[in-house]
Amino acid sequence: MTIPPIEVSFGAATDPGLKRALNEDALLAVAPIFLVADGMGGYDAGEVASSTVVDEFSSLAGRPSLDMEDVKAAFTRARSRVDALPAEEGSGPGTTLTGVAIAEHGGGGYWLVFNVGDSRTYRLANGNLEQISVDHSVVQELIEDGSLSEAAARVDRRRNVVTRAIGAGDKGAPDYWLLPAVTGDRLLVCSDGLTGELTDEQIQAVLLDESSPQAAANRLVHEARLLGARDNVTAVVVDAIAVHLAPDEAVGTDDDTVPRKGREEV
């Protein structure tokens, strides 16, 4: 039996929130793959799109680790299936997708983070929360060109407009990041229904306060409900409880083939 490069403990929670009749978020939390998809489209089309993506990525569950090609191939298959769904509106149903896979590189354990759309993947390391994924959204573009502050973006009427998706007539490529894993890392994968209610500071406080990943996921969803939960809310929390590294690749060794935070377009 192959030992996985990262041993994880994880938990997940999802809730329709207080204003929406349907939960169009979907999640997958089975090692070595953890993801959240936030569906969009009329009636139940968004729910079908997000659950289709989860179904496709479920084929990756149960392996010790994945590589970039596994995840890219699953993206391609998922996109084909969502594009084939019946379109009840102009551009058809669509979904965001973000998450993290356990990956092996040179005998070491890495987090392979992927994103298309405005769901988010964060990492809590050494007590500090860092957003790894970069939103594909109109307000993110305005933040980057300096015409909108992050505070203003939170209340901007365009805050839910994504610039890349799976389906919805879009072909935009996912972004990828390959990060060396360290024992004690905590990853959070969540939908915008969480980040629309809680600030990064509030999210960090919950992640530091709750030791069990399941308790942390439950508490994040609970806090979003206390703040109004205007959208569906989903949180997946993944802890690295052990990272197996090859003897010549100890933590702290520079590995110039894999940046601490790199980015690759498909």
- Taking the complex as a whole, the smallest distance from the CB of residue 167 to Mn ion amounts, in Å, to 15
DSSP per residue, the chain: -PPPSEEEEEEEEEE-TTT-SS--EEEEEETTEEEEEEEESTTTHHHHHHHHHHHHHGGGTTSS-B-HHHHHHHHHHHHHHHHTS--SSSS--EE-EEEEEEEEETTEEEEEEEEESS-EEEEEETTEEEE-S---BHHHHHHHTTSS-HHHHHH-TTTT-BS--EETTB-PPPEEEEEE--TT-EEEEE-HHHHTTS-HHHHHHHHHH--SHHHHHHHHHHHHHHTT--S-EEEEEEEEEEE---TTS-TT---TTS-SS--EE-
Q: Which is nearer to Mn ion, 175 or 192 (CB)?
A: 192
- Taking the complex as a whole, the smallest distance from the CB of residue 62 to Mn ion amounts, in Å, to 28
- Taking the complex as a whole, the smallest distance from the CB of residue 24 to Mn ion amounts, in Å, to 7
Between CA 195 and CA 239, with CA 9 as vertex, the angle to 5 degrees is 50
Q: Which is nearer to Mn ion, 162 or 240 (CB)?
A: 162
164's tokens: 């890349």
- Taking the complex as a whole, the smallest distance from the CB of residue 196 to Mn ion amounts, in Å, to 7
Q: Which is nearer to Mn ion, 204 or 234 (CB)?
A: 234
Q: Which is nearer to Mn ion, 98 or 191 (CB)?
A: 191
Q: Which is nearer to Mn ion, 115 or 191 (CB)?
A: 191
CB atoms within 10 A of CB 20: 16
Binding site residues, Mn ion, CB under 5 A: 38, 191-193, 231
- Taking the complex as a whole, the smallest distance from the CB of residue 232 to Mn ion amounts, in Å, to 5
Q: Which is nearer to Mn ion, 200 or 249 (CB)?
A: 200
Q: Measured between alpha carbons, how far is 15 from 3 in angstroms, rounded to an integer?
A: 34
Q: 93, 168 in Cβ contact below 8 A? A: yes
- Taking the complex as a whole, the smallest distance from the CB of residue 11 to Mn ion amounts, in Å, to 20
- Taking the complex as a whole, the smallest distance from the CB of residue 139 to Mn ion amounts, in Å, to 14
Q: Which is nearer to Mn ion, 38 or 210 (CB)?
A: 38
Q: Measured between alpha carbons, how far is 63 from 47 in angstroms, rounded to an integer?
A: 27
- Taking the complex as a whole, the smallest distance from the CB of residue 149 to Mn ion amounts, in Å, to 22
Q: Which is nearer to Mn ion, 197 or 231 (CB)?
A: 231
